[in-house]
Amino acid sequence: MTGTQQPSAGRPVAPFGRMLTAMITPMTADGALDADGAARLATYLVDDMRNDGLVISGTTGESPTTSDVEKDQLLRAVIEAVGDRATIVAGVGTNDTAHTIELAHQAERAGADALLVVTPYYNKPPQNGLLAHFTAVADATSLPNMLYDIPGRTGVPIATETLIQLAQHPRIVAVKDAKADFGAGSTVMANTGLFFYSGDDMLNLPWLALGACGFVSVVGHIVGDRLHEMIDAYLAGRVGEALEIHRELLPVFIGVMTRTQGAIATKAALGLLGLPGGTVRGPLIDATPQQVEQLRTDLVAGGVKLPGGAA
């Protein structure tokens, strides 16, 4: 098999669905985990925003500042709410191989469908260290693994040659790409069976053109249904329609992804929509009133209908 365009017999063209959202972790006013809010939000994302799957405890889910116990509670709440009709991918990646394996075991026990494993951050391992780390995590459970390549946060990219080697592992099946290297991604897709998911909302459409099978989105909290429409249009050959949707959503991409940190902006947007989100944990800090008003303007410009708003 060579990439997502030529699936072998019986192999899915998008193993976790095409439209996934990296879900925030709802919290109460005092900063505690809001498991009930997580169940309500997950239900909204699947039933109203047309998400095929959800990524739980990724970076947008504030995984660096939630405990292992909270991660387990959150995952179980989401699985109970929507696990019968959506793929649930558990974020388990840390910068400690042993801890990552512990979280992988925990997620498997909770009933996750798959694992998201980010490149170890801060300690900047060499490529042979990445190879050993990802292999050890993939060996630890029976679940399929999606690697998360985001060097802007981790400090280390997963090299093309490393991804080609890792693709030989039967449980390393996909990559969430936030590296924005179209040449490298194209080379990996042309030489492996790895499925690529866009991890950068502004680049969702061009990644589809290069063979990506779908998105792991942040703005999917707010416009997941329209992103799903964009995927459907592109795959049906209606490229002009897909481009139109992309351009209509530019203010949303800018408002949520560029004006402040993504979890901060997403929780502010959910607050405007009357959905569970709540506070963020330090070192993040809640959006200022001025940021919220700018976000309101951006969302309306992108066609998002806000309660009591003009859009």
**Catalytic residue annotation:** 148, 176
Compute CA distances 48 → 42, 194, 224, 225, whole Å. 10, 29, 8, 7
Residue 124 CB neighbours (<10 A) = 12
Longest CA–CA separation in the chain, Å = 54
* Contact (CB, 8 A) for 31 and 220: no
Compute the distance between CA of residue 280 and CA of residue 287 in angstroms, rounded to an integer. Answer: 9
Compute and round to an integer the Cα radius of gyration of the chain.
18
Q: Is the separation of the CB atoms in 78 and 42 below 8 Å?
A: yes
**How are the residues of the chain apportioned to helix, strand and coil, as percentages rounded to the nearest 5?**
50, 15, 40
Centroid of chain to Cα 42: 14
Cβ atoms 15, 214 nearer than 8 A: no
Write out the two tokens for 283: 């070192």
If one counts every other C-beta atom within 10 angstroms of the C-beta of residue 155, the result is 15
